């Protein structure tokens, strides 16, 4: 299976938010290396490893353009060049402070208020780089549809290869995989004090990143920083 790429927000290296995310998931998106895990009272380390397995594969991030394989006739070098050009004409901005939230069965940090700048950045990334995206396979389409899509999400899936873009976009920094209610309540209680300081101030968005997963299930790591310098 070919490599996959995505445009994600990720915290600046070694910032408090980056250190928290790497320690919580047990892996750095910047290096791909394992990181000493945060100890959680009342939850065995192996159990916490299981509960965070899904987001750990992707690294601590917020999706802007979802993962995609390269379209035939395009190259990774061309994608990097186009992604840098895309970011270079967009201005940095402040995202409203984050908050801890339960999104369905998983936990995440989400903006505490809508951000038109963020919504526009994500929509523009989806459009501007779509020429590099290979069409999704039948198996991938079937997997997406198992979630039970609305007619609008079906339309977005057909147009952009992913059902949660444009007006269906919801920015989030994922902290867990799907949780049972008891685990969700326990982890919410643990995470609230751990994330309180990270959720006090607006979050500067002055760069985004091109992520790459070189081999299936190999884990996404940062391939290029894309400063917003417009």
Region 209-213: mean pLDDT is 97
Classify the C-alpha dihedral 165-171-176-182 as positive or negative. negative
Calculate the CA 99 to chain-centre distance: 16
Q: What is the pLDDT of residue 195?
A: 97
176: Cβ contacts below 8 Å, ≥ 6 apart: 51, 52, 54, 55, 106, 107, 108, 184, 187
Region 147-174: mean pLDDT is 95
Write down the domain spans for the chain.
4-227
Each residue's pLDDT tens digit, 17-71: 999 999 999 999 998 999 998 888 888 899 999 999 999 999 999 999 999 999 9
Each residue's pLDDT tens digit, 97-133: 999 999 999 999 999 999 999 999 999 999 999 999 9
Q: Which numeric CATH code is attached to 4-227?
A: 3.90.1140.10
Region 157-186: mean pLDDT is 95
Per-residue pLDDT at 1 exceeds 80: no
């Amino acid at each position: 299976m070919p490599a996959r790429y995505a445009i994600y927000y990720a915290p600046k290296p070694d910032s408090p938010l980056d250190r928290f995310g790497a320690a919580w998931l047990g892996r750095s998106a910047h290096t791909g290396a394992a990181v000493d895990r945060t100890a959680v009272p009342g939850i065995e380390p192996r159990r916490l490893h299981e509960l965070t397995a899904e987001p750990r594969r992707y690294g601590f991030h917020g999706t802007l353009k979802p993962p995609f394989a390269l379209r035939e006739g395009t190259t990774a070098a061309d994608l990097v060049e186009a992604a840098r050009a895309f970011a270079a004409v967009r201005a940095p901005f402040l995202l409203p402070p984050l908050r801890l939230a339960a999104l369905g069965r998983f936990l995440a940090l989400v903006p505490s208020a809508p951000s038109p700048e963020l919504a526009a950045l994500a929509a523009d990334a989806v459009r501007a780089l779509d020429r590099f995206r290979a069409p999704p396979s039948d198996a991938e389409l079937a997997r997406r549809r198992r979630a039970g899509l609305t007619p609008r999400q079906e339309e977005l899936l057909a147009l952009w290869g992913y059902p949660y873009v444009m007006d269906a976009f919801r920015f989030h920094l994922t902290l867990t995989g799907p949780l049972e209610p008891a685990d969700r309540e326990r982890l919410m209680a643990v995470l609230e004090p751990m994330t309180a300081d990270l959720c006090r101030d607006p979050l500067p968005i002055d760069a985004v990143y091109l992520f790459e997963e070189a081999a299936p299930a190999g884990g996404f790591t940062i391939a290029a920083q894309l400063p917003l310098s417009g």
